[in-house]
Structure 1
Amino acid sequence: MSQTVKKLGKYDVDWQHFSLQDFLELRWRLLHDYDAVLPGGEYFGQVRCGDICYDIQIEWLEAEGGEIAAKDSEAPELELFVTMSPFFPHEKEAVNAPYEELVPGMPYDTQRGASLVYARHAFLQMGYEDFQHLAEQDMAGKIAAFPRLQQEAAKMTGFWDRHDAILCRLRQEEEEKGEREDTGE
């Protein structure tokens, strides 16, 4: 097992897409430039557990009655939070349409109520290993609470590796197209 993969009960948690460097960049942003965070949030990396991919972002959210809820730009008091939202491959027979934002043919879903949310000030009190431990414990609780997450955490189909490869190819094609336009080819 690599240094980036840790055991979480019967599941493996892969941290290779959220390194110490990613953690330090996120921490720097929260300390020095948090006012400039985009209204829709900013992505910093991900943690994978089987076919679940937890995206790590910073987002402006508002607490309502003890719960955190995303708000539009007219919200009175927004605070910055670090969030981890689970995504996994879409089931063809699912009632709701899947997300297919970046990679055509690779639709995915999320589980409402399964995101992990850390207040900016609390996150800044943690070191990288502390954050990993806390996130893994929270993930274990969320996975145990949702049958669909249990099902996806137990799978290892390579969905996200295929997704990444397609996304990388699309980005490379876009860059090459831009270079051709810049040179007038």
Structure 2
Amino acid sequence: GAGRVLANEIRLKLGDNIERFIENGCLIMGICNGFQALVKAGILPGGENRHRLTLTTNDSGRFECRWVHLAINYRSRCVFTRGIERLYLPVAHGEGKLVADAAVIKSLDVALYYTDEKGNRGAGYPHNPNGSMADIAGICDATGRIFALMPHPERHIHYNQHPMWLKHGNGIRIFKNAVEWIKDL
């Protein structure tokens, strides 16, 4: 879908600029279709696993639009998720199922996992809204600077974006981590 179209644009029109951007140590984040584009363009997962992973149609066969619980992989190098334990973010996609062979899955730097409300992985649908292998919701590259996720942190920046009007937007922490990392350069 849309991720493939964007990936073609990236490769054909921005390829050299994106390569320089990455070589210069800059941060890149792909959300939803952006995740699809980074994968289809071969930017993630990168290395020998380039083009050995894909995002495909949800197991439900339909567009999934709701809130999901996420656990952060504390072993991940991901700059964007440092110091965060759990998130509660919305998803909105029809093609978010991450698929790869077992060796590729094992080699990924997984930053986010779909969980149930208690933080347990392996809870299946509807907790894993797309059937993504190993409950993977987000990955990053070996440097931790290129991050992609299916949930939408930008849709939970302010408290009033949550149906229960929580005190703070949960997704803002991902963006604050990026800003702090840049400030520390």
Q: Judge same fold: TM > 0.5, yes or no.
A: no
The alignment's TM-score, normalised by the length of structure 1, stands at 0.30
Higher relative contact order (Cα pairs below 8 Å, separated by 6+ residues): 2
The alignment's TM-score, normalised by the length of structure 2, stands at 0.30
Structure label with greater radius of gyration: 1
